[in-house]
Amino acid sequence: MPRNPQLNGNGELQHLLSIEGLPREILVKILDAAESFVGVTERDIKKVPLLRGKSVFNLFFEGSTRTRTTFEIAAKRLSADVINLNVAASSTAKGESLLDTVANLSAMQADIFVVRHGSSGAPFLVARHVKPHEHVINAGDGRHAHPTQGLLDLYTIRHYKKEFGGLVVAIVGDVLHSRVARSLIHGLTTLGVPEVRVIGPQTLIPAGASALGVRVFHSMREGLKDADVVVMLRLQNERMSGALLPSAQEFNKHYGLSLEKLALARPDAIVMHPGPMNRGVEIDSSVADGPHSVILPQVTFGISVRMAVMSMVAGGG
């Protein structure tokens, strides 16, 4: 196995491409830094001068206003200049390659590239070709990883549960196509969560799931039992009916999170969702808006986590 391309020669975070392969200490350091940034986001003036003069390029080859906005807010709160590029609509349509686009922007003096791409591994390719002072943050690549989402999920879990040891975390739904699930699973196992479960029909659980260190369940009744944390995954519209699933209704009946199913989890369980939610499909409104839901705090923590990641990569770990 080649050296982990995310770490520099001193073992510090050079890029954030995936949670997989990051040592526990780095994950903890990111979460700790995020905690101190939460203090900043609670002030009237929600801005610190840490990245003043640095340029952050939001390079979204796949549209996502929400994620792009959270990175933009995080960068601005660090006083960086943010340039948003909706590459999906511009250069690739003209046939420019991913690396050409990056080379062009690099010539405009970039410091951080926030990359979202539809193909798994694209940010690794970018990271291999940027200059030594440039940093790449993966904002979601294909089905592979969404490390800042994984980190904010970890932050949220730590915020509400304090410790990772002893937890039972259940991740429910379309694990096969979920980069969020992959990132979270690696984070949870690295931080010592003893039991990570994935729950879904066989069609939505990848072939090698157990090799990720999770227990696979096909029944909510069994999988949610005594769970401390329930993470619901988004089910994409185009996958709701076809060869993977017959219908959104049938999925909801078996795998949608209702109050009744949530009752199987521990009484103090928290419910998370990476958003945007399909109410009535993977999660019922009564749960999404109920007392167990920490879905909105997740969004708030997401800003601080992204501030922490940006300041760690740009500051050489």
Partner 1 sequence: MAALPDAEKLCAQLVRALQGVVGPSTAMVGIHTGGAWVAERLHAALALKFPLGLLDPAFYRDDYAKQGLAKDPKRSKIPFDVEGKDLLLVDDVLYTGRTVRAAMNELFDYGRPASIALVVLAERDGRQLPVCAQHAGARVEVPAGMRLRLRRDAEGRLSLELERAA
Partner 2 sequence: MRLLIKGGRVVDPASGRDALGDVFVADGRIAQPVGTPDRTLDARGLVVAPGFIDLAARLREPGYEYKATLESEMEAAVAGGVTSLACPPDTDPPLDEPGLVDMLRRRAKALSRARVYPVGALTVKLAGKQLTEMAELTESGCVAFSQANVALADTQVLWRALQYAATFGFPVWLRAEDAWLARGGVAHDGEVATRLGLAGIPAFAETIALAQLLELVRATGARVHVCRISSAAGVAMLRRAKHDGLPLTCDVGIHHLHLSEMDLGYFDSHCRLEPPLRSRRDREALAAALADGTIDCAVSDHTPVDEDQKLLPFGEAEPGATGLELLLPLALKWGMEMKLTLAQTLARITSGPARILGVASGRIEPGAPGDLVLFDPDAAWRATSAALKSQGKNTPFLGMELAGRVRATVVDGHVVHEA
Residues of this chain that bind partner 2 (CB under 8 A): 1-2, 4-5, 20, 97-99, 117, 119-122, 124-125, 129, 141-145, 179, 182, 206-209, 211-212
The total of other beta-carbon atoms located within 10 Å of residue 41's CB is 17
How many CB atoms are closer than 10 A to CB 128?
11
CB closer to partner 1, 114 vs 313: 313
Tokens of 217: 């369940």
Q: How far is the CB of 186 from partner 2 (least distance, A)?
A: 9
Binding-site ranges for partner 1 (CB under 8 A): 12, 29, 32-33, 35-40, 43-45, 47-50, 78, 311-312, 315-317
With respect to partner 1, which residue has the nearer C-beta, 114 or 310? 310
User: Residue 317's binding partner, choosing from partner 1, partner 2, none, with beta-carbon cut-off 5 to 8 A by kind?
Assistant: partner 1
Nearer to partner 2, 141 or 282 (CB): 141
Q: Which is nearer to partner 2, 20 or 72 (CB)?
A: 20
Residue 84 touches which member of partner 2, partner 1, none, C-beta under 5-8 Å by kind = none
Contact partner at residue 33 from partner 1, partner 2, none, CB < 5 to 8 Å by partner kind:
partner 1
CA distances from 148 to 139, 140, 269, 299, 301 (A): 7, 8, 23, 11, 11
Asked if 201 contacts 223 with a C-beta cutoff of 8 angstroms, the reply is no
Q: Which does 48 bind (CB under 5 to 8 A by kind): partner 1, partner 2, none?
A: partner 1
| Residue whose CB is less far from partner 1, 115 or 312 | 312
Q: Which residues pair with 58 in a beta bridge?
A: 84, 114
What's the rounded Cα separation, in Å, for the pair 124 and 6?
A: 9
From partner 1, partner 2, none, which one binds at residue 312 (CB under 5 to 8 Å depending on kind)?
partner 1
Query: Which element (helix H / strand E) includes 305?
Result: helix 295-314
Residue 201 · residue 255 · CB < 8 Å: yes
Q: Which residue has the tokens 């922490």?
A: 308
Cβ-contact 172, 231 below 8 angstroms: yes
276: preceding bond cis by omega (within 30 degrees): yes
Q: Identify which of residues 3 and 162 has a Cβ nearer to partner 2 in the complex.
A: 3
Q: Which SS3 state, helix, strand or coil, does residue 298 take?
A: helix
User: Helix H segments across 50-109?
Assistant: 65-77, 98-106
How remote is the C-alpha of 293 from its chain's centroid? 18
Residue 315 interaction partner, one of partner 2, partner 1, none, beta carbon < 5-8 Å per kind: partner 1
Q: Give 142 or 275: the residue with its C-beta nearer to partner 2.
A: 142
Least separation, in Å, of the C-beta of 52 and partner 1? 9
Q: Which is nearer to partner 2, 2 or 291 (CB)?
A: 2
The length of the chain, given as a count of residues = 317
If contact means CB under 5 to 8 A according to the sort of partner, which of partner 2, partner 1, none does residue 311 touch?
A: partner 1
Shortest separation between residue 18's beta carbon and partner 2, angstroms: 8
Q: How far is the CB of 75 from partner 1 (least distance, A)?
A: 14
Q: How far apart are CB 78 and partner 2 at their closest, in Å? A: 28
Alpha helices in the chain (DSSP H): 24-41, 65-77, 98-106, 122-129, 147-161, 179-190, 220-223, 248-255, 259-262, 285-288, 295-314
The number of beta carbons lying within 10 Å of the beta carbon of residue 187 is 26
Query: Which one of partner 1, partner 2, none is in contact with 212 (Cβ closer than 5 to 8 A by kind)?
Result: partner 2
Spatial distance between the Cα atoms of 180 and 221, rounded to a whole number of angstroms: 23
